[in-house]
Chains A and B, each alone.
Chain A
Amino acid sequence: ETGVTQTPRHLVMGMTNKKSLKCEQHLGHNAMYWYKQSAKKPLELMFVYNFKEQTENNSVPSRFSPECPNSSHLFLHLHTLQPEDSALYLCASSQDLTDTQYFGPGTRLTVL
């Protein structure tokens, strides 16, 4: 285990649903990340938080809304998603922005 947990591990939702993905890190890190991993495509950085402040939004559509209430927790709120948003969503954390990123197991999202 890497010390980064994600829930749920699998999620199926309709295009009109609202759901949230949760990430928790037990490593005492200060930076947290959301990535999207689609089939046959490279991992894509979505958001970066450092000390609870968002430092990066990689042109992500507004139907994805991140929230970082503290350095240990990161959420990704989902609403009005499209089928092409189906993917594995990975959370990662690092001690600071220059340190190694440790990934969670991901949430497999399917949008019907």
Chain B
Amino acid sequence: GENVEQHPSTLSVQEGDSAVIKCTYSDSASNYFPWYKQELGKGPQLIIDIRSNVGEKKDQRIAVTLNKTAKHFSLHITETQPEDSAVYFCAASWGSNDYKLSFGAGTTVTVRA
């Protein structure tokens, strides 16, 4: 199966600063990389995803970059706000099976006002 490592496990940033979370994966055939945000008492919600034929994708304050050669991808949140505080998970598909996701252990992001 796929092995996904996520760093850091916790991240505290000042409101307005940027936050970066990094993930590495082991299966070079992986082609789908979603990012999920989980707030307390809720299930994970997709915030952005990227496929292996794209190197970067942006949606307002959120961006994801993918380096297939190095097998790592990153989430960038700019101009952080208190509502960005949550646990963030990266995931990678098992080879070409988009529905079989292996998740990272999560990053707890705290945005200080």
Instruction: Specify which of A2, A4, A42, A94 is in contact with B105 (CB 8 Å cutoff).
Output: A42
State whether the Cβ of A31 lies closer than 8 Å to any Cβ in chain B. Answer: yes
Contacts of B44 in A (CB 8 A): 43, 90, 103
Closest chain-B Cβ to A40's Cβ sits at a distance in Å of 7
Q: A56-B100, A94-B99 are in contact. List 5 more A-B contacts (CB 8 A).
A: A42-B103, A42-B105, A97-B97, A98-B98, A102-B46
Contacts of B99 in A (CB 8 A): 31, 33, 48, 56, 94, 97-98, 101
CB nearest to A106 among chain B residues = B43
Contacts of A106 in B (CB 8 A): 43
Known: A42-B103, A42-B105, A45-B100. A100 touches B49 (CB 8 A): yes
Question: A105 contacts B43, CB within 8 Å?
Answer: yes
Task: For the complex, give the distance between the alpha carbons of A92 and B42 in Å.
Answer: 12
Task: For the complex, give the distance between the alpha carbons of A105 and B91 in Å.
Answer: 19
Task: For the complex, give the distance between the alpha carbons of A102 and B43 in Å.
Answer: 9
How many inter-chain contacts with C-beta < 8 Å in the A-B complex?
55
State whether the Cβ of B102 lies closer than 8 Å to any Cβ in chain A. Answer: yes
Interface size class of chain A, counting residues whose CB lies under 8 Å from the partner chain: 20 to 34
Question: B98 contacts A42, CB within 8 Å?
Answer: no
Report the interface size for chain B: residues with CB under 8 A from the other chain: 22
Closest chain-B Cβ to A87's Cβ sits at a distance in Å of 13
Interface residues of A (CB under 8 A from B): 2, 4, 31, 33, 40-45, 48, 56, 90, 92, 94, 97-106
Within residues 79 to 106 of chain B, which ones have a CB less than 8 A from any CB in chain A?
Answer: 89, 91, 97-106
Contacts of B34 in A (CB 8 A): 100-101
Closest chain-A Cβ to B95's Cβ sits at a distance in Å of 13
CB nearest to B4 among chain A residues = A42
A-B contact pairs, 6 of them (CB 8 A): A42-B89, A42-B105, A56-B100, A90-B43, A98-B99, A101-B34
Instruction: Specify which of A33, A40, A42 is in contact with B104 (CB 8 Å cutoff).
Output: A42
